[in-house]
Structure 1
Amino acid sequence: MSWLSRITSGLKKSAASLTAGLKSAVGLGASLTPEVKEKLEESLLAADVGLPATTALIKALEKAGVPEPLTEENLKQALAPLIAARLPKAQPLELGKKGLTTIMVAGVNGSGKTTTIGKLAAQLSGQGHKVVIAAADTFRAAATQQLQVWAKRADVEIITKPDADPASVAYMAQEHAQKAKATVLLIDTAGRLPNRADLLAELEKIPRVLQKLNPQAPQHTVLVLDGTLGQATLKQVEDFSKATPITGLIVTKLDGSAKAGFLLALAEKFPQLPVHALGFGEQLEDLGPYQAEAFARALLDL
């Protein structure tokens, strides 16, 4: 299955919910009547697009116009570019042309963070990169065990030190990766909730210790978001950003979500944050590049 087909199949739950609403809206009039717009607003809000993005989208639709008589296909085709323009920008994880690129990965427990690191390690290794994983989520033994399985599968090195200070594991891994002439270091961090100030402080500390070895490290700090939570993830972005500068996002579990429209709310609130990749399942091939146009069309079942 091509990656574009995977995006389409992965967004089926969200698309089914949104397109059912669009169908109902079209049944209310032959043009963009107030009743049609009201039903359209309801449908977008139900898809977790959020009120500001929904309002902006309907205004843009009024301005762009929809061919009459109004049909479901006409409405979808008119909405697709407007949705794509309001989604987060797509940006692949850029790796340095030489030397080591350090990527720190954060996220709450259950977000798919550790699995995402494993998939990234396997994919990057498959592309010819020399990858090292740092198991700096020392608060959860299962995270280290999970990463060890992925490291073996990807045939990459993993640095572990159970019960150690997470920042010391990150430092040790950075030092080792530099000496080993690795090209990518992926650092797993403890799954955090905003009410754990001690764990957020650890997240703040890791970049400080890395910068003793390389002032530019980490080159990326990626936050992994659970797509099934919808707009609830906006608070996570806010809270994690207070602890350390987030440079980009990876959104997982979208195949289990009917709330994929929340990416529009995300872009509305954090327009500076790109999305690097999307996750649709547990398999290695279920993580791939995010593309706004493909995402918009899949969301509309086009």
Structure 2
Amino acid sequence: MADTMIGVIGGSGLYQIEGLDGAEWTRVDSPWGNPSDQILTGTLDGVKMAFLPRHGRGHVHSPSTVPYRANIDALKRLGVTDVISVSACGSFREDMAPGDFVIVDQFIDRTFAREKSFFGTGCVAHVSVAHPTCPRLGAACAQAAGVAGITVHDGGTYLAMEGPQFSTLAESKMYREVWGADVIGMTNMPEAKLAREAELCYASVAMITDYDSWHPHHGEVDVSQIIATLMGNADKAREMVRRLPALLGAERAPCPHGCDRALDNAVLTAPEARDAALVARLDAVAGRVLG
């Protein structure tokens, strides 16, 4: 058994988690650059917690400039075992209404301007993301949200777009009607892929703010309306997070779905051919298998 440490990556509108015992903003240095911000650490009901505002306090990073690799690496260095991603999203489904939460279990990645892997020339690895989120962690989030009185949908496909602009009407209709996506956002990729490479359990909680642009009775996305919904969603997210320690516990067994062993057979580069500098940067992410 190992100690549980819950890492929450807060999206738009969620820049702070209240109620942590021994709360302290901590700077974590990463060989992959500076994380989005310092990380708020502490304990909640006896369980270690870490909170990282994805866009930085004051919302300084756009979806394309979020330092995803540094963020995941920094959480792993702190000892985080379970990552809860909380992000604002648009909905492609009438029944997934603004204010509802969706526990995402699949992604369509349409981003193109981001570094998507810790590995590369000199140390090549391929991990499976057939099931990109952790069912155990997603179930805990669904239960916590339900207990908090939030309308929660268990399962959904998240279309990750590059942004920062919202979708055209034609794109919105295609994502909804042809591709079958349920929600749309700009930040869960490559975050989910990197979490898998770092052998971290990852759950994605999409907080719906709008109906994107497909809905005939809601018109195009309006930022002022989104911000109003964001504030209510952020309060709901805090209520959900407060209930997670009791569900996950202070001690943690190996992930039954193998998230924490994702690199077991992933590295292809022979030991003698590995780039020493890259291997050194991978010390937190892949030290378990690289030695």
Same fold (TM over 0.5): no
More helix by proportion, 1 or 2? Answer: 1
TM-score normalized with structure 2 length:
0.30
TM-score normalized with structure 1 length:
0.29
More strand by proportion, 1 or 2? Answer: 2
